């Protein structure tokens, strides 16, 4: 969906005095293309007051409403246009995009098919392929992509959708080749490329994921996601912990959908931590100063509040901190790497918790030492780790998904060496991924 070709007339600068309707339309499209959506919308609506059935203006107004996220208004505007001119093939395609964004897959598919009946285009075929893929019909999605590519062999969106259809069918080598081609045809887009990697990891193909990552690295040598996951997929040059840049970028990117996503995964780490806190502390009476390490969106906050005289949280992600602030339970929220934050607060807390944050640390010694220093005598630490499947001599591994898994006995030893008294790690299920339980450790430690 684009305004660029919505009007073929040259765009003059507005003349002195009153503009004709044609000049006003051209001026509105000029402002629209320049990103001045508010002014463009006012121009379009003024034109429609004079000429309510002007289809070119209804089309660009529908596009503008879509760009502003006003999906209901966009759909209504485009449908009104199609009542006037049912033969507008490109408008059916635009309506399909709006309906797809609204999650109305059946109606979106019908709109794309109507567009194709009027004029077959690679864009409409590629859009229809998206519908079939989201409906789970990957074989039909693949064939639909091929229809698009028959019309335009280097059509980027069709190549991208073909890659996903092939990878989803576990046709790995074909899917990787399509993905590599799509990466050359399309402008760099983080989530699109991450999707290829995620499909391959779900298929247990870390070596093929590394192929995508190396091609990505050639285009973006310093991308923190690429550097971290290339180490995770190859096992080469494992960093001691995930970089600040990686963590910040990764969690900023899905802060708004974080809670919803974890709910689908039956995420239990905050509840597990809260239960351990209840077992380790006296009855709640808002009597302790508490630190939530890597607080994220604040899922632990309401569970800790009954014990909190004060509740502080730190995280590297501004997006996550904004979500945590919205819960209204934290007295202090700081954007900071957690060991750096703790160094500024010696002896400040009675309780520190970390739910699934230390999964981004391989070497735990610095965390253990800074926790020991930030806790008051008698203070308690409760945290979770992902569990490393037993392998002789191995105590930590950076997994292909980008998180570290730890041997529980070794983790206990590291925190004991920092001067804490550590209970035996307890095996727990932290969440599910691809309907498979993710095994972890729950650890409770105390400063003597």
Integer-rounded Cα Rg, in Å, for the chain is 27
CA angle 330, 332, 334 (to 5 degrees): 120
Q: How far apart are CA 188 and CA 180, in angstroms?
A: 12
Identify whether the C-beta of residue 433 lies closer than 8 Å to the C-beta of residue 417.
Answer: no
Fold of 252-446: Rossmann fold (3.40.50)
pTM for the model stands at: 0.84
Each residue's pLDDT expressed in tens, for the chain with a length of 448 residues: 655 444 433 333 444 457 898 999 999 999 999 999 999 999 999 999 999 999 999 999 999 999 999 999 999 999 999 999 999 999 999 999 999 999 999 999 999 999 999 999 999 999 999 999 999 999 999 999 999 999 999 999 999 999 999 999 999 999 999 999 999 999 887 788 999 999 999 999 999 999 999 999 999 999 999 999 999 999 888 999 999 999 999 999 888 898 898 988 899 999 999 999 999 999 999 999 999 999 999 999 999 999 999 999 999 999 999 999 999 999 999 999 999 999 999 999 999 999 999 999 999 999 999 999 999 999 999 999 999 987 667 999 999 999 999 999 999 999 999 999 999 999 999 999 888 999 999 999 999 9
Give the start-to-end residue ranges of the domains of the chain.
Answer: 252-446
Identify whether the C-beta of residue 32 lies closer than 8 Å to the C-beta of residue 38.
Answer: no
């Amino acid at each position: 969906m684009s305004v660029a070709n919505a009007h073929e007339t040259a765009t003059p600068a507005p003349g002195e005095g009153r503009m004709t309707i044609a000049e006003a339309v051209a001026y509105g499209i000029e402002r629209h293309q320049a990103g001045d959506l508010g002014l463009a919308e006012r121009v379009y609506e003024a034109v429609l007051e004079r000429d309510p059935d002007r289809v070119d203006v209804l089309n660009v107004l529908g596009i503008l409403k879509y760009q502003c996220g006003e999906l209901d208004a966009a759909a209504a505007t485009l449908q009104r246009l199609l009542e006037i001119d049912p033969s507008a093939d490109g408008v059916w395609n635009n309506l399909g995009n709006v309906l797809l964004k609204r999650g109305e897959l059946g109606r979106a598919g019908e709109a794309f098919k109507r567009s194709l009946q009027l004029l077959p285009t690679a864009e409409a075929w590629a859009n229809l392929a998206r519908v079939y893929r989201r409906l789970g019909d990957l074989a039909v999605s693949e064939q639909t992509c091929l229809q698009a590519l028959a019309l335009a062999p280097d059509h980027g969106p069709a190549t991208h959708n073909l890659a996903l259809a092939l990878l989803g069918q576990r046709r790995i080598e074909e899917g990787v080749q399509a993905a590599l081609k799509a990466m050359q045809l399309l402008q760099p887009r983080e989530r699109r490329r991450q999707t290829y990697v995620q499909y391959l990891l779900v298929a247990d193909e870390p070596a093929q994921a590394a192929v995508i990552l190396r091609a990505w690295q050639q285009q973006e040598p310093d991308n923190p996601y690429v550097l971290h996951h290339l180490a995770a997929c190859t096992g080469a040059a494992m960093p001691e912990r995930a970089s600040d840049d990686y963590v910040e970028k990764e969690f900023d990117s899905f802060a708004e959908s974080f809670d919803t996503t974890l709910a689908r995964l039956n995420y239990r780490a905050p509840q597990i931590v809260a239960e351990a806190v209840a077992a380790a502390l006296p009855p709640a009476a808002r009597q302790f100063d508490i630190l939530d390490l890597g607080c994220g969106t604040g899922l632990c906050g309401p569970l800790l509040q009954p014990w909190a005289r004060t509740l502080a949280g730190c995280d590297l992600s501004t997006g996550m901190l904004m979500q945590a602030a919205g819960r209204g339970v934290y007295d202090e929220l700081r954007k900071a790497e957690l060991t750096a934050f703790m160094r500024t607060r010696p002896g400040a807390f009675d309780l520190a918790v970390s739910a699934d944050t230390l999964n981004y640390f391989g070497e735990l010694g610095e965390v253990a030492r800074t926790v020991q220093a930030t806790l008051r005598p008698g203070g308690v630490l409760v945290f979770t780790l992902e569990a490393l499947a037993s392998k002789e001599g191995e105590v930590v591994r950076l997994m292909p998904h980008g998180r570290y898994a730890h041997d529980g006995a070794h983790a206990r030893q590291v925190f004991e060496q920092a001067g804490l008294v550590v209970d035996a790690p307890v095996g727990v299920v932290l969440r599910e991924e691809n309907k498979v339980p993710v095994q972890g450790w729950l650890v409770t430690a105390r400063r003597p």
